Structure 1
Amino acid sequence: MTQLSTLEKLAILADAAKYDASCASSGTTRRDSKGGGKSGKGIGSTEGMGICHAYAPDGRCISLLKILLTNHCIFDCHYCINRKSSNVRRTRFSPQEVADLTLAFYRRNYIEGLFLSSGIIKSSNHTMEMLIESARILREEHDFRGYIHLKTIPEADPDMVRRAGLFADRVSINVELPTTAGLTRLAPDKSVPRIEGAMDLMAGEIVEARDARRRFRHAPRYAPAGQSTQMIVGADAASDADIITRSSGLYGRFGLRRVYYSAFSPIPDASAVLPLKRPPLMREHRLYQSDWLMRFYGYAADEVRSAADAAGMLPLDIDPKLAFALKFRDSFPVDINRAPREMLLRVPGLGVRAVNGILSARRLRRLTLADLARLTVSLTKLRPFVIADDWRPVMLADRADLRALVAPAGGEQLELFGA
């Protein structure tokens, strides 16, 4: 067998990692290297093998080295390019090679951290041990202060899963598919009870560690950026309503920081049980918007589901917030000079920043439509749903063609928070 170079391994294992969407690094405190190795504002590379980009809540771009430890796998998940029956070129890194690569990229200021996942080689415990060892070498032998996100393996021994949080800023355990039936059919080696048991274990450890940090200043940090998960959209028959229900349950039960949605993408030599083509990317986008409505806008899961059609699918041509407002017109219009924050957040076209601006400005004077125009991208979407000091939508709100009037041309979507 020909020995592959590090660069050849990187090409294979970085490409194999591209299907995992859950690599955002928001939610952790920034670490500075000893001796000032990193400046206050890191510079992310705009291109490079294995480098992905995520965004913190403040808009700062964070670059991560995103790789698999190995693309060997003893599991045969139908939707996975690295499944054991797939005809792909296989290779692996050692934990030391992962550490060396990460440090080389970090010292050149290409990255601010590492996202490390893996196929299952030999056994779940063996793979989990190598993942942890990669992070341990970075933290303990090189005093690496950058960001580390570790994918943990729910089938591994609970004590090993628990250890991952001692070295990682964020941990994630993929639920893979929205329904138990879908997981049983497409990933027969995986089990919902095992996955949720590992997530519950990690959630408990995170809560316990945070409590210890409040009481004891020198208590060890444990997964300070929390845990996340990912589910594949469009590989099975799950509807958007099914996915929203599942996500809401995961947030409530395990205190997740994020649920990531990854639109199914056809893979080479695909299994016959998979769809022949990928779902519309807009479907993934609408699910992210629905997720934000639950996390930041105060919507309950059943309210978001109510925006779906009879088959449980969200409309693709308009965002779920607008779909909800059109379906429940009796809740509108909202008086921008009197309505509480929770009602302002439900107005289509008003994002968090715009609502904060309204609440600040109306303490000084009553707001007009012109004032609203300075806080938003466009008034077209807003007019039927608001009352201002000089505006009341007397006839507009009841028009039968209101959807066509307020929907962006061609389904173009405004930024959820930016409006």
Structure 2
Amino acid sequence: MNYERIKEKLEILADAAKYDVSCSSSGSKRANKNGGLGNSNGTGICHSYTEDGRCVSLLKILLTNHCIFDCAYCVTRKSNDIKRAAFTVQEVVDLTINFYRRNYIEGLFLSSGIFKNPDTTMERLIRVAKKLREEENFNGYIHLKSIPGASDELMKEAGLYADRLSVNIEIPTKEGLKLLAPDKDHKDFIQPMKAVKSNIEIYQSEKRLIKNTPIYAPAGQSTQMIVGATGESDKDIMYSAHFFYEKFKMKRVYYSGYIPVADDKRLPSIGTAVPVIRENRLYQTDWLLRFYGFNIKELLNEDQPNLDMDIDPKLSWALRNLHLFPLDINRCSKEMLSRIPGVGMKSVRKIINARRYRKLNWEHLKKIGIALNRSRYFITCDSTYFEKKDLTPLQLKNKILQESSSKYSTHLNNQLTLFHDFSI
């Protein structure tokens, strides 16, 4: 084996894979069997942190950065003058096993540029996973990127070896995709998603009847959207995400801010990367839709097409609906508790459990851990005291922002003081 050449390939193809953020392994449980190597449990990997504080990671690479397409937003597009490389199937298998034995990784995330055609590329990815499972007896996590346009038969086979499959929708709207990737067809992204969803349902149904039915993509499927490459609004992005959650039962939709990689008139100019805060607000909105019971139209609509970058989307919604507040923390429903700014779902469960035994006051709420710097403007408890005092939404927003800024400054000064004392 030419180790210098392998190292060079690894540098090129690992760097090219960094633009793909849809690589969490949550949801999969694959036990070690027959004295094999590793296992995959329900914790996330790729430099994620588990509940007990462990940082876990995976080998995240492209099979190749050669590509037959010329998508304007992609660093591996065929017209881009970059170093090209390609791994063989065996090289990826060897790297995965060697890195795992050295405790560098706990799994593999494998994607690829599309060479020759989608089926050829997808077949190569499947061969890697199949070799790892059947020849190396590898039971760790494997995430394969499904290639747009790949056949249903290949998608069916891929799910028998991979824990998770994903097809990146790339651009949230059909119009944006047509503008920036005219060689691609939107339906080529949709078809693999349909195949995976159908196969998951079939195998789950058979598993209930026949225990030895093989598992199929136990961690489900995910997708990713590039944010800011075209002029889509936050409403466009989140309505697309909502569609994929509802239609294809996605485990996750990921949002990746566009990083300028080309001087193209169709794209934002070089040096105008999407602010990280926009990604953050989209993820917060995604969380509210999935776990807090919000309807998409409550958060984004024709009157509110974009998220407020200054405040989180739950606070933004509350300020637009002040007529629903204040809420009595000791009486209101679980649904309304979850809509109070500064109150997370863990706190909701604690409040519901605690108020069975006594009326809660401000001190109790502070111990429970809710963010009183925001929530106190929207609630009452075992007291008639209410902070809003007929403030307008704008006045209330500015007051909360001012207090948050002051609290941050105090925290920063305390940290600097501690650092100074330590230095002395």
TM-score (ref. length: structure 2): 0.89
Partners of 1:29 and 1:199 lie apart in 2 by 22
The offset of 1:33, in angstroms, is: 6.1
Deviates more, 1:326-335 or 1:113-122: 326-335
Q: Which residue of the other structure, out of 295, 303, 316, is the alignment partner of 2:298? A: 303
Partners of 2:307 and 2:313 within 8 A in 1? yes
State the partner residue of 1:201. Answer: 195
The offset of 1:204, in angstroms, is: 0.8
Partners of 1:264 and 1:279 within 8 A in 2? yes
Letter paired with 1:65: L
Map of 1:211-222 to 2, 5 A cutoff? 211-222=205-216
**RMSD, matched Cα:** 2.5
1:323 aligns with 2:313: no
Letter paired with 2:298: E
Partners of 1:96 and 1:84 lie apart in 2 by 25
State the partner residue of 2:417. Answer: none
Map of 1:2-401 to 2, 5 A cutoff? 5-32=5-32, 34-35=34-35, 38=38, 52-55=46-49, 61-267=55-261, 269-276=262-269, 277-306=272-301, 310=304, 312-376=305-369, 378-393=371-386, 395-396=388-389, 398-399=391-392, 401=395
Kindly, what percent of the aligned residue pairs are identical?
49
The offset of 1:387, in angstroms, is: 1.5
- Report SS of the residue matched to 1:5: helix
The offset of 1:296, in angstroms, is: 0.4
CA 1:40–1:149 in structure 2 vs 1: closer, same or farther (change >3 Å)? closer
- Report SS of the residue matched to 1:176: coil
Partners of 1:282 and 1:298 lie apart in 2 by 23
Partners of 2:211 and 2:240 lie apart in 1 by 37
The offset of 1:109, in angstroms, is: 1.3
TM-score (ref. length: structure 1): 0.90
Give deviations 1:271-311, integer Å, cap 9, x for gaps. 332101112110011000000000000001101215x865x
Partners of 2:149 and 2:189 within 8 A in 1? yes
Partners of 1:178 and 1:246 within 8 A in 2? yes
> What count of residue pairs does the alignment treat as equivalent?
402
The offset of 1:364, in angstroms, is: 1.2
Higher helix fraction: Structure 1 or Structure 2?
2
State the partner residue of 2:415. Answer: none
Partners of 1:278 and 1:309 lie apart in 2 by 26
State the partner residue of 2:405. Answer: 409
Letter paired with 2:405: A
State the partner residue of 1:417. Answer: none
Deviates more, 1:229-238 or 1:199-208: 199-208
CA 1:100–1:39 in structure 2 vs 1: closer, same or farther (change >3 Å)? closer
Partners of 1:318 and 1:411 within 8 A in 2? no
The offset of 1:234, in angstroms, is: 0.2
The offset of 1:31, in angstroms, is: 3.2
Which runs of 5 or more residues in structure 1 are unaligned?
45-50, 413-419
State the partner residue of 1:47. Answer: none
Partners of 2:384 and 2:29 lie apart in 1 by 45
Partners of 1:31 and 1:147 within 8 A in 2? no
Partners of 2:26 and 2:43 within 8 A in 1? no
Partners of 1:32 and 1:236 lie apart in 2 by 45
CA 1:221–1:410 in structure 2 vs 1: closer, same or farther (change >3 Å)? farther
CA 1:201–1:83 in structure 2 vs 1: closer, same or farther (change >3 Å)? same
The offset of 1:32, in angstroms, is: 3.1
Letter paired with 1:273: R
The offset of 1:43, in angstroms, is: 12
Partners of 2:38 and 2:138 within 8 A in 1? no
Partners of 2:155 and 2:192 within 8 A in 1? yes
Partners of 2:221 and 2:53 lie apart in 1 by 21
CA 1:97–1:42 in structure 2 vs 1: closer, same or farther (change >3 Å)? farther
CA 1:270–1:40 in structure 2 vs 1: closer, same or farther (change >3 Å)? closer
